[in-house]
């Protein structure tokens, strides 16, 4: 079976080197030495200053909203994984959608300002499939209107924009280290904060608001990453250049053969890619469904990331977003992972 992705598993010996340390110390969680080491190494690798590791990318969003005091209404995109919106609702914040650009698939910055109302406190854009948003325009609108910006950067591990980490834009940027991502810690995530004060507040939030054995300073929850997640994260990080290189070969192979027949996502010209996804836009939903069926019959399972457009989800019920609905109906993400073979890619290409 060929699936849309396949997690990278490091060699057992490389992983065991880290797991042995857990067995030696019996330290399994609660800000242990592997989580600390991974934090340091990721700050260095990614080029960020105030990084907090958490249990998953969903909690990363929730903690970021709390740490930055987001309330009322937040502007966000309907073309994303459901977690971008569900976390807002979970935190009592109302998502209000801004439609997307039909070529980049990211929030259209030209539509942001007209959506701001008195109770808007934040903008939550997504760098969809790792493709950076127009960050300068968004950051400028936020500054002018005194709004916070939290980028859902779940897909952007290692992506650089104008030579710097994309995570350095906004008041915070959140990552997902889920097994399906280019870089993973099985489950996991992180928040890169602009200000150290926000990082300090978030550090309290992820550990029940506890500051010492006998002291509870405020409301918190449990969003900690554990030592086994960090062990996997360290082992995967040891191979990250190899993973990205292999994925880039797959991505380029598809790109070369499909670029003249399909509309592909328009990539930000100032940004690198981590080759997490290969979205293809069909001429209509019918063509997509026909192709999906043909591939499924051959035991190949691409995915409709992101479908449905979130403004059509019953419990979210946003204003209708025409562009997002159109794109969501036509996008199919092809299988991309380090060990995919050329015959398999050829089979995918032949059948689409
Ligand atoms: N924001 C954005 C923009 C996101 O895309 C996401 C997550 C989040 C926030 C939240 O972050 P997390 O809380 O998840 O850290 C997957 C992932 O579960 C999810 O992390 C990801 N985005 C989303 C885009 O995709 P599914 O429902 O597609 O996963 P699943 O289990 O169907 O896996 C896809 C394929 O991968 C399977 O067909 C087989 C393969 N697979 C998967 C797993 C889990 C394996 O081979 N082994 C595995 O262990 O959501």
R_g of the chain, CA atoms, integer Å: 20
- How far, in Å, CA of 184 to CA of 197, rounded? 27
**Any ligand 1 atom below 6 A from CB of 306:** no
* Cis peptide, bond prior to residue 308, ω within 30 of zero: yes
Which residue has a Cα nearest atom 16 of ligand 1? 180
| Contact call for residues 50 and 25 (beta carbons, < 8 A) | no
Q: From the CA of 118, how far away is ligand 1's center (Å)?
A: 35
Q: From the CA of 162, how far away is ligand 1's center (Å)?
A: 28
If you average pLDDT over every residue of the chain, what do you get? 97
Which residue has a Cα nearest atom 24 of ligand 1? 81
Q: From the CA of 116, how far away is ligand 1's center (Å)?
A: 31
- How far, in Å, CA of 326 to CA of 251, rounded? 24
- Mean pLDDT over residues 119-138, rounded? 98
**Any ligand 1 atom below 6 A from CB of 279:** no
Burial of residue 238 (number of CB atoms within 10 Å: 0-12, 13-18, 19+): middle
Q: Whole-angstrom distance between the N-terminal and C-terminal Cα of the chain?
A: 17
pLDDT of 121: 98
- Mean pLDDT over residues 220-228, rounded? 98
Q: From the CA of 60, how far away is ligand 1's center (Å)?
A: 15
Ligand 1 atom nearest 61 alpha carbon: 9
Q: From the CA of 4, how far away is ligand 1's center (Å)?
A: 10
**Any ligand 1 atom below 6 A from CB of 276:** no
**Any ligand 1 atom below 6 A from CB of 9:** no
Span 269-320, pLDDT tens digits:
999 999 999 999 999 999 999 999 999 999 999 999 999 999 999 999 889 9
| Contact call for residues 270 and 40 (beta carbons, < 8 A) | no
φ and ψ of 81, to 5 deg: -65, 150
**pTM higher than the cut 0.75:** yes
Distances (CA, A) of 31 to 53, 54, 143, 306, 325: 9, 10, 34, 34, 42
How many other C-beta atoms are found inside a 10 Å radius of the C-beta of residue 37? 16
**Any ligand 1 atom below 6 A from CB of 189:** yes
Q: Please report which confidence band the pLDDT of residue 150 belongs to, taking 50, 70 and 90 as the band edges.
A: very high
């Amino acid at each position: 079976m060929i699936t849309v992705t396949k997690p990278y598993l490091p060699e057992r010996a490389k992983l065991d080197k880290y797991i042995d340390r857990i067995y030696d110390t019996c330290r399994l969680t609660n800000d242990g030495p592997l989580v600390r080491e991974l934090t340091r190494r990721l700050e260095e690798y990614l080029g960020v200053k105030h990084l907090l590791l958490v249990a998953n990318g969903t909690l990363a969003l929730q903690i970021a909203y709390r740490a930055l005091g987001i309330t009322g209404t937040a502007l966000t995109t309907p073309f994303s994984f459901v977690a971008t919106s569900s976390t807002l609702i979970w935190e009592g914040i109302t998502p209000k959608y801004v439609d997307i650009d039909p070529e980049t698939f990211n929030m259209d910055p030209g539509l942001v300002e007209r959506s701001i109302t008195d109770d808007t406190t934040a903008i939550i854009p997504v760098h969809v499939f790792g493709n950076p948003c127009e960050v300068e325009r968004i950051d400028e609108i936020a500054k002018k209107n005194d709004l916070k910006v939290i980028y859902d950067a779940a897909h952007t591990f290692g992506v650089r924009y104008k030579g710097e980490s994309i995570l350095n834009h906004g008041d915070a940027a959140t990552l997902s280290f889920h097994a399906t991502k280019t870089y993973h810690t099985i489950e996991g995530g992180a928040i890169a904060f602009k200000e150290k004060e926000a990082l300090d507040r978030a550090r309290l939030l992820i550990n029940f608001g506890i500051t010492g054995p006998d002291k509870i300073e405020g409301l918190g929850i449990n969003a900690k990453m554990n030592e086994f997640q960090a062990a996997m994260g360290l082992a995967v990080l040891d191979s990250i250049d190899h993973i990205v290189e292999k994925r880039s070969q797959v991505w380029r192979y598809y790109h070369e053969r499909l670029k003249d027949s399909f509309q592909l996502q328009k990539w930000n010209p100032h940004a690198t890619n981590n080759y997490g996804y290969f979205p293809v836009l069909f001429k209509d939903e019918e063509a997509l469904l026909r192709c999906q069926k043909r591939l499924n019959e051959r035991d190949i399972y691409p995915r409709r990331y992101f479908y449905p457009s979130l403004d059509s989800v019953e419990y979210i019920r946003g204003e209708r977003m025409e562009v997002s609905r159109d794109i969501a109906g036509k996008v199919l993400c092809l299988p991309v992972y380090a060990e995919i073979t050329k015959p398999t890619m050829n089979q995918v290409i032949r059948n689409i």
